[in-house]
Amino acid sequence: MHLTIVTTCILLMIPLSEAGYRGCQICGGQYPEINAELSQIREAAVQWLTVQQNGDGSWPTVNTQNVILGLQLANRSWLASQELNERLLTKSRLEFELVRQLLPARREVCDENSGRGRVRFSRSPFKSSFGCPATFERGAGILAQYMLSLQSICCPIDDFYGVNLGCTMTNVLRNFPEENFNNFFQYSLAILSMCSLRADIFWKALWKLAEGSDKSDPCYSPSGDDSGRNISVLSVQVMAMVCARDQAINKNVPNWDSILSARIQCILDTQNDDDGSFGNSTSTALAIQALTAASIDPTIWSCNETVPWLLKQQTNGDFGGIDATAQILPFLYCSNFGSLRNTTIDCPE
């Protein structure tokens, strides 16, 4: 059987609206010097990430999906502004990577008997549970990254080559915790991917996000340091809780707002008073994305000190690697991992 590869997201080639970005003034716009420096550095960061792309369209260290998401969250016109062949290569690579991961293991066999080296499938892909696989081998955190990345370039999520990714995510969420899907960083990304789509999230999945690792301590995370606090985990938990708040309140998930406030306070408590940082550059960028997503007044967390500190952590737009730069970039454009919820509306019909 041949898998017909059709282009599923042709529409992304139209540059998307810039409206949301005109008002990007970091720290409330009170610091023109910071904003001037920032706009140079963030352009350098976009450049730096763009040129790291491999010839096959991927980005090194299995980050294709994260880089595309970071660049699109920074500027929704990033992909549309590339040359046509570059655009197609990038989009096809992203789709190819996910298609490959959705196919059940070892189903591709080389048909030696045909003598033509044709690839055939030992059984129809997705047949066992057509349209809505019950598992995703690399875990829901990775699936969420692909879903967010596809969404950021306006590709359909409900019919990705015959698979409904939101439905798959709902299945996979039920299996938490399991191998490759066992911490609240991944869990929160999974919730963010559903919430960004404005998909319905079942009550228990929201409740688990609120409960976290330890219901007596909403900030606790076993992967953290001695204090049991992990700023990166707290930050994505906050972004996911802000994004899914409407649903959680409608569904009466208990203590949502008090847990959200407690987590925000824990992020604030970890701030280094000397330089305004929150751990290293990656966790700092995630923390300030979370605080921004939660509409915390930037003077409360000394934005005028944190942002200059963050900007000093890079050289020529490189914030310490592809992964770190891709995670930091959205903040530099006043965006965060929950921003897609609002930007999808701008996808051309």
Query: Is 151 one of the annotated binding-site residues?
Result: no
List the alpha helices (DSSP H) in 140-202.
140-152, 165-174, 184-196
Does 284 bind ligand NAG (CB under 6 A)? Our answer is no
If 0-12 CB within 10 Å is exposed, 13-18 middle and 19+ buried, where does residue 86 land? Answer: middle
Options 83-91, 249-257, 266-274, 302-310: segment touching ligand NAG (CB under 6 A): 302-310
Does 299 bind ligand NAG (CB under 6 A)? Our answer is yes
Does 228 bind ligand NAG (CB under 6 A)? Our answer is no
Does 185 bind ligand NAG (CB under 6 A)? Our answer is yes
If 0-12 CB within 10 Å is exposed, 13-18 middle and 19+ buried, where does residue 306 land? Answer: buried
Does 314 bind ligand NAG (CB under 6 A)? Our answer is no
Options 119-127, 171-179, 263-271, 336-344: segment touching ligand NAG (CB under 6 A): 336-344
Q: Residues near 222 by Cβ (< 8 Å), separated by ≥ 6?
A: 183, 213, 228
Mask for 76-95, x = binds ligand NAG (CB under 6 A): -x---x--------------
Query: Is 164 one of the annotated binding-site residues?
Result: no
What span, in angstroms and rounded, lies between the C-alpha atoms of 50 and 133?
33
Could you say which of 324, 326, 332, 347 contacts ligand NAG (CB under 6 A)?
Answer: 324
Does 17 bind ligand NAG (CB under 6 A)? Our answer is no
Could you say which of 11, 13, 21, 57 contacts ligand NAG (CB under 6 A)?
Answer: 21
Contacts within 8 Å (CB) and 24+ apart, 157-162: 157/197, 159/8, 160/8, 160/95, 160/98, 160/102, 161/3, 161/5, 161/6, 161/8, 161/95, 161/99, 161/102, 162/126, 162/130, 162/131
Does 305 bind ligand NAG (CB under 6 A)? Our answer is yes
Total site size for ligand NAG, rule CB under 6 A:
27
Neighbour tally for 310: CB within 10 Å: 24
> Where does this chain bind ligand NAG (CB under 6 A)?
21, 75, 77, 81, 183, 185, 223-225, 230, 232-233, 280-283, 293, 299, 302, 304-305, 320, 324, 338-339, 341-342
Binding site residues for cyanocob(III)alamin, as ranges? 280, 327
